[in-house]
Amino acid sequence: MSRVNILSVCGSGTVTSTMVAEKLKERLLDDGYQVHATEARPTEALNMAQSGSFDVLVHTSPLPSGDYGIPVINAFACMTGIGEDKFFADVVAALHGVGK
């Protein structure tokens, strides 16, 4: 089991980021990942992403532009369920890409 840190960003850093984080925790278990998720607001996302504490960033809100330094993946599919499998596959591929 590989422990990974995911930054989950939505408008208020509460509702949808929590929904997405919970889905990731459940689904990525099957891929051998123990997900530790931190919810954040868009305004704090860039600083947190650059802190070096996170492996990937997922988001349901628009993000301010900037160099996040980690893979950034749109999590909207988690809300609709449409394209959700591709979303999880993208997150896993991104984790592989950062050596996790």
Partner 1 sequence: MIWESLTDSLICRDIEASSYQDVMKIVGGKLTDAGYVKESYVDALITRERSFPTGIDMNGVGVAIPHTNPEHVNQPGIAIGVLRSPVSFFQMGTTDVKVSVKLVFVLAVTNPNAHIGTLQRIIQVIQDTKVLKDIIAAADAAEIIHIIQAKEKAIENK
Q: Which residues bind partner 1 (CB under 8 A)?
A: 10-12, 14-16, 18-19, 22-23, 39, 42, 59-62, 74-76, 78-82
Helix (H, G, I), strand (E, B) or coil at 54: coil
Closer of 69 and 81 to partner 1 (Cβ)? 81
Could you say which of 10, 24, 35, 78 is catalytic?
10
The verdict on whether 10 is a catalytic residue reads yes
Distance between CA atoms of residues 13 and 10, nearest Å:
5
Distance between CA atoms of residues 39 and 45, nearest Å:
9
Closer of 10 and 48 to partner 1 (Cβ)? 10
